[in-house]
């Protein structure tokens, strides 16, 4: 496996959807190609850091306010009849 092949398969590898043969070839490549190993490892960390960060949480008070606004607009919409998207 060449470095460019590794890159093509990287997303499938990280998502755990590679077939066994390709997975073995890729891991074999990673065992001797330091650059690809680093790319694989730091890409994995990138995903993990974003997944763990949850930067945009909805505060409870805003959440309640939004929900009641949504429900009251829904009621108004119901009275007016259906609309198109």
Partner 1 sequence: MSAIENKLVGPVSEELALVQAAKRGDDSAFEELVRRYDRNVFRIAQHITQNREDAEDVVQEAFLKAYGNLAQFQEQSKFYTWLVRIAVNEALMKLRRRRPERTVSLDEEIKTEDDSLPREIADWSPNPEQQYNQSELREILSKTIQGLPPGFRTVFVLRDVEGLSTEETAAALELSVPAVKSRLLRARLQLRERLGRYFQKRDSEDGNKRESGDGNQ
Residues making contact with partner 1 (CB under 8 A): 4, 7, 10-12, 14-15, 35, 38-39, 41-43, 45-47, 49-51, 53-58, 62-63, 66-67, 69-71, 73-75, 77, 82-85
In contact, 8 and 36? CB cutoff 8 Å: no
Residues 62, 67, 69, 70: is their CA dihedral positive or negative? positive
Q: How far is the CB of 19 from partner 1 (least distance, A)?
A: 15
Tokens in use for 7? 């890159």
The residue (of 21 and 80) whose beta carbon lies closer to partner 1 is: 80
CA–CA dist 40, 32 (Å, integer):
13
Q: How far is the CB of 16 from partner 1 (least distance, A)?
A: 11
């Amino acid at each position: 496996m060449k470095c460019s092949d590794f890159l093509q398969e990287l997303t499938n590898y990280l998502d755990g959807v590679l077939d066994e043969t390709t997975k073995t070839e890729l891991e074999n490549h990673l065992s001797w190609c330091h650059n690809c190993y680093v790319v694989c490892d730091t890409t994995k960390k990138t995903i993990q850091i974003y997944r763990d960060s949850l930067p945009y949480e909805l505060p409870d008070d805003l959440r309640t306010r939004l929900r009641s606004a949504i429900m009251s607009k829904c009621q108004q919409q119901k009275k007016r009849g259906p609309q198109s998207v």
